[in-house]
Amino acid sequence: MAVTAYRNAEFGTDPGADRPAATDVAPGGGGIDDPAMLRCLLDQTPTPTALVQGEGDRCAFANAAFRAMGVVAGAGLTECFPALSLPMLVEARRTGQPQRNRAAGDGSADGQRFWDLRVTPMLGVNGVVRGLIITAEETPESVAEHDRRLRDVSHRLKNTLQLVSSLLTLQTLSSKDPEVRRALQSAGGRVGIVTQAHQRTHGSLRTGTIDMAVHLRELCQELEATLPGAHRILVTADSTQMPADTVIPFSLIVSELVGNAARHAFPAGTPGTIDVRLGRGEGDAIRLEVLDRGTGLPPGLDMSRATTLGLKVVRAFVGQLRGKLTADSSPQGTRVVVEFPPA
């Protein structure tokens, strides 16, 4: 009620705002439409509560419960309270819809604390988001136990994927048909990429996002060690937060594009360099580029129609992530670009 009243008083969205101000004012002033009174009410609320106005995460107001945790007006809220992620604030502003997440906070003397986080947009005239109300309610230990079980399930899944990879390796060694061996090796390599990507999402179970730049560097370092030929991969990546559930398809897209360049872009036995870049494109879209300095695509090859399994995998996962795949080629090399919607 206090949050709703505060919103109405600050931004004039109360259906009864055209009533005389004295209607709701008790003798002596300080009525329910008085912002100072409402701030006082919020200040005494036991649930940590903060107000963010404008862009970014700069705290405009923090009640006593939040100030006791080091969150003060003028400071960056996500810096003072790392359990809250910036993407939650961005999504609330973009959609005008409340956001909710459970996350772990800083450790304390009695162990790690867990929070039920809510970000509620404060809508002004014409539905414009004028500010965000953030509340952080500490959750009972039962939620922490649920989180532990989730980590256990994640660990079991990783072990299962490693078992599948081992079985494919055994099947490869027992096959005498070169085509079958290559197919099994490719399948095992893809399972390995999925396993590694899943392992990296393990630490993002609570936050729900991952810095794909860090992941991309580690992924390409591993790919370089397994590529056919003495090829180098140069990575240029800006810090880019993406949802944790995109890590596996993103990793397979990168793996297939880099592997395709390593196998086909350069003359046999000639080492080459593959550039992988990650950043922002037009309209803040997430832009992935894979470039080689090889001989270019074969005449007539259309990547949007190619029937090889690797390119089918790329197209399928680009579509799953609502992305767009383009390519341009010349005798000096090939550039493949994948653009994903802003995260």
From the list 142, 118, 122, 145, the residue with the least C-alpha distance to 132 is 122
Are residue 116 and residue 167 in the same domain, yes or no? no
Element (H, E) at 83: none
> By residue range, what is the domain housing residue 264?
207-343
**pLDDT tens column, 231-255:** 899 999 999 988 888 888 999 999 9
Last residue of a domain, one of 205, 238, 253: 205
Are residue 300 and residue 233 in the same domain, yes or no? yes
What is the CATH number for 77? Answer: 3.30.450.20
Are residue 176 and residue 98 in the same domain, yes or no? no
Are residue 257 and residue 336 in the same domain, yes or no? yes
**pLDDT tens column, 37-79:** 777 877 888 899 999 988 889 999 999 999 998 899 999 999 9
pLDDT above 60 (res 278): yes
Band of residue 143 on the pLDDT scale cut at 50, 70, 90 = low
Three-state SS at 15: coil
> In whole angstroms, what is the distance from residue 242 CA to residue 244 CA?
6
Are residue 308 and residue 222 in the same domain, yes or no? yes
Are residue 192 and residue 118 in the same domain, yes or no? no
Dmax of the chain from CA atoms? 94
Are residue 53 and residue 96 in the same domain, yes or no? yes
Last residue of a domain, one of 170, 188, 205: 205
Are residue 53 and residue 169 in the same domain, yes or no? no
Are residue 135 and residue 53 in the same domain, yes or no? yes
For the chain, what percent of residues have pLDDT higher than 90?
A: 28
Average pLDDT, the chain: 79
Helices (H), the chain: 2-11, 35-43, 64-67, 77-80, 86-95, 141-174, 178-201, 212-226, 247-264, 309-320
Overall average pLDDT of the 311-340 stretch: 90
Last residue of a domain, one of 82, 111, 139: 139
Domain tally for the chain? 3
Ramachandran region, residue 229 (left: φ > 0; alpha: ψ -120 to 50; beta: rest): left
Are residue 188 and residue 217 in the same domain, yes or no? no
DSSP string, 225-245: HHSSSS-EEEEEE---EEEGG
Are residue 101 and residue 10 in the same domain, yes or no? yes
Q: How many CB atoms lie within 10 A of CB 275?
A: 17
Q: What is the pTM of this model?
A: 0.52
Are residue 22 and residue 131 in the same domain, yes or no? yes
Instruction: Output the CA torsion sign for 247, 308, 222, 213.
Output: negative
What is the CATH number for 335? Answer: 3.30.565.10
CB 99 within 8 A of CB 135: no
